[in-house]
Amino acid sequence: MTRWKLILEWDGAPFMGWQRQDHGPSVQGALEQAAHKMTGEQVTAHAAGRTDAGVHALAMPVHVELAKELAPVRLMEGLNALLRPAPVAVLSAEPVADDWHARFSCLGRRYLYRIANRRAPLTLDKGRAWRIAKPLDLAAMQAAAVHLVGRHDFTTFRSVHCQSDSPVKTLDRLTLERVGDEIHVHAAARSFLHHQVRSMVGCLGLVGMGQWSPDEMKQALDARDRAALGLNAPAEGLYFAGAVYESPDA
């Protein structure tokens, strides 16, 4: 039995999220089905993080165990052929130690959120970014983001359906940059609460539009109350960007 580390990329639009669902398609289900068709084995795939319906992934680490002997390139190309036409791609495949776990060995997770700050409707990027037509004040958004970095009780930015044991998390990074007519929000932490990134970005959007001041972001955080949340940004702008492990060989 070989444990394989796969790096996946996907468009989240047609999926109910990563996790296998009874009421709709999932990325996990698509991958497991492709692996079963290729090997005849019942496979369970484990990912570095769960994503909601509509959320995309640029580089999601996943592991599976297979008894069949395969070369890495053969596994990657075989899975990609069988995943079609689902918008999921295996970018790489490599064998790893039996105790390596995509989720439990992960030391950090990174997300990207894309805000398209333009008046024109989205065409090529429809479903892949949150469009805000009103000009955004990037400096104000950056000032607001500072209040969220560090160890805090993020109850305000936590979904009522979150299953985490504690609302306290350490946010290592929350930075914003303008890239053409987009604002990119970069978030990094060991782990995140359900909807945490989308909730933070939604409130940053309010700051950028002038509906909140940067200090009101701190007030919302300090309230520790979901009712204090101003806005939950849509899933379509969110991307799982990558995961951190102990070493490059992990």
* C-alpha atoms less than 13 angstroms from C-alpha of 78 in its C-beta half-sphere: 18
Spatial contact of 170 and 150, defined as CB atoms under 8 Å apart: yes
DSSP state letters, 202-220: HHHHHHHTTSS-HHHHHHH
Spatial contact of 208 and 138, defined as CB atoms under 8 Å apart: yes
- Cα 78 from Cα 34, distance rounded (Å): 8
- Cα 85 from Cα 102, distance rounded (Å): 25
Element (H, E) at 172: strand 168-179
Question: Catalytic residue at 52?
Answer: yes
Residue 18, φ and ψ in degrees, nearest 5 = -70, -50
Dig out the tokens for 87 from the structure.
């918008």
Catalytic residue among 11, 22, 52, 172: 52
- Cα 213 from Cα 137, distance rounded (Å): 11
Task: Report which of 27, 35, 38, 90 is spatially closest to residue 64, judged by C-alpha positions.
Answer: 35
Active site amino acids: 52
